[in-house]
């Protein structure tokens, strides 16, 4: 019954979609958004040392490379194909790492082989093969470790070795759990000065329109538990698994986000193009709700920090949702060397570029 309901909701969502128009996107004064590249089902983003933007394509089974030409136009190359849900990608020491559901593959010296990708090396990391929340997100931390998300294989369940973020050496050795109690993180990053891990988490479904909140979390050290499946958003005891548990025993979110907004990519702004007030602040790509009577999300939000404390949560770019009709679903964010910010959209198959032009707008 649940599966039939999910399929019905997806069909309803598709029937209420419209063609994307960047004229509808609202940004703070002085900011401009434009198309950067066409990439089918564009998902995770990673930046190479030579400026190549690597893009995963979860539904299309491919990974792409977007190269910017001297005239500002871009060339899109299908780098890898025939893969199994290649959602997570990371670039490290000239190598590209791609995470399928049950394995991570390394492609050596990738930017010098964009038109003839080398054979990949499968790292010896045991990962579950469940498809439910099975698409991985990966990234390298300042400790030179590869971090990998392992989502819960369900809406709500209590299973060993799931609902966590693990880390390994670049060659796949010395696996350890870094954080647990995480339902499904599809985006994490590190604070540019403290090096602390921050990540988004998608709240559980089927508790109603307005609970629980999705989460932005901070993990300043290894070993913290963020509540799932016993406690949600730092304060809501789960009706099935929360009995005998105290929410105060778990790490609360740094910022509660909208309920069911599906936060995915998260990045600190580290460039010099945007005004100084955005420096080291948190941007989040909200993919958008699927099981809410009134849609929410489908935007980029900004969490302002004072030190490690979140002091506000506000829209930054919105307009992909108009009167319940969807024209785009932001997935991941990437700050380029010039300070502009890229946004992937798996619904429209686009990558957008946000720049700040100030009075020149």
**Nearest one of 327, 360, 328 to 344, comparing CA atoms:** 328
Provide, for the chain, the percentages of residues in helix, strand and coil under a 3-state DSSP scheme, each rounded to the nearest 5.
10, 40, 55
- Could you please state the CATH topology (level 3) that the domain comprising 17-360 is classified under: Neuraminidase (2.120.10)
pLDDT (tens digit, 9 = 90+) per residue, 287-322? 999 989 999 999 999 999 999 999 999 999 999 999
pLDDT of residue 21: 77
pLDDT at 11 over 70: no
Cα radius of gyration (the chain)? 19
Tokens standing for residue 111: 């930017």
Rounded to the nearest 10°, the torsion over CA 135, 175, 231, 297 is -30
Q: How confident is the model at residue 360 (pLDDT cuts 50, 70, 90)?
A: low
pLDDT (tens digit, 9 = 90+) per residue, 122-145? 999 999 999 999 999 999 999 999
**Nearest one of 11, 14, 34 to 22, comparing CA atoms:** 34
Residue bearing tokens 């599906």: 262
Domain positions in the chain are 17-360
Of 50-54, 58-62, 230-234, which range is least confident?
58-62
* More confident of the two residues 361 and 90: 90
pLDDT at 70 over 90: no
* More confident of the two residues 244 and 9: 244
């Amino acid at each position: 019954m649940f599966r039939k309901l999910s399929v019905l909701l997806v069909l309803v969502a598709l029937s209420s979609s419209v063609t994307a128009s960047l004229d509808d996107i609202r940004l703070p004064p002085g900011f401009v958004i434009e198309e950067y590249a066409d990439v089918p089902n564009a998902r995770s983003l990673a930046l190479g040392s030579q400026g190549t933007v690597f893009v995963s394509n979860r539904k299309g089974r491919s990974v792409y490379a977007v190269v910017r030409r001297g005239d500002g136009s871009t060339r899109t190359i299908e780098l890898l194909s025939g893969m199994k849900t290649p959602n997570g990608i990371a670039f490290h020491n000239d190598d590209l790492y791609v995470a399928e559901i049950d394995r991570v593959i390394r492609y050596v010296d990738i930017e010098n082989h964009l038109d003839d990708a080398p054979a990949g090396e499968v790292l010896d990391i045991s990962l579950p093969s469940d498809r439910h929340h099975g698409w991985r997100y990966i990234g390298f931390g300042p400790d030179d470790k590869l971090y990998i998300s392992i989502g819960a294989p369900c809406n709500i369940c209590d299973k060993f070795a799931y609902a966590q973020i693990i880390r390994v050496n670049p060659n796949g050795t010395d696996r350890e759990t870094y954080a647990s109690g995480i339902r499904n993180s599809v985006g994490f990053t590190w604070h540019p000065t403290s090096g602390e891990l921050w990540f988004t988490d998608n709240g559980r479904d089927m508790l109603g329109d307005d609970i629980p909140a999705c989460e932005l979390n901070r993990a300043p050290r290894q070993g913290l538990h963020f509540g799932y499946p016993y406690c949600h958003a730092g304060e809501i005891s789960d009706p099935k698994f929360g009995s005998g548990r105290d929410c105060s025993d778990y790490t609360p979110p740094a910022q509660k986000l909208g309920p069911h907004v599906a936060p995915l990519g998260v990045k600190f702004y580290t460039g010099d193009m945007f005004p100084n007030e955005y420096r080291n602040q948190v941007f989040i790509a909200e993919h958008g709700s699927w099981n809410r009577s009134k849609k929410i999300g489908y935007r980029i939000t900004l969490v302002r920090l004072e030190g490690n404390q979140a002091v506000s949560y506000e829209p930054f770019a919105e307009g992909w949702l108009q009167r319940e009709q969807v024209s785009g679903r932001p997935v991941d964010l990437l700050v380029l060397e010039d300070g502009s910010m890229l946004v992937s959209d798996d619904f429209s198959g686009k990558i957008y570029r946000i720049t700040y032009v100030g009075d020149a707008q």
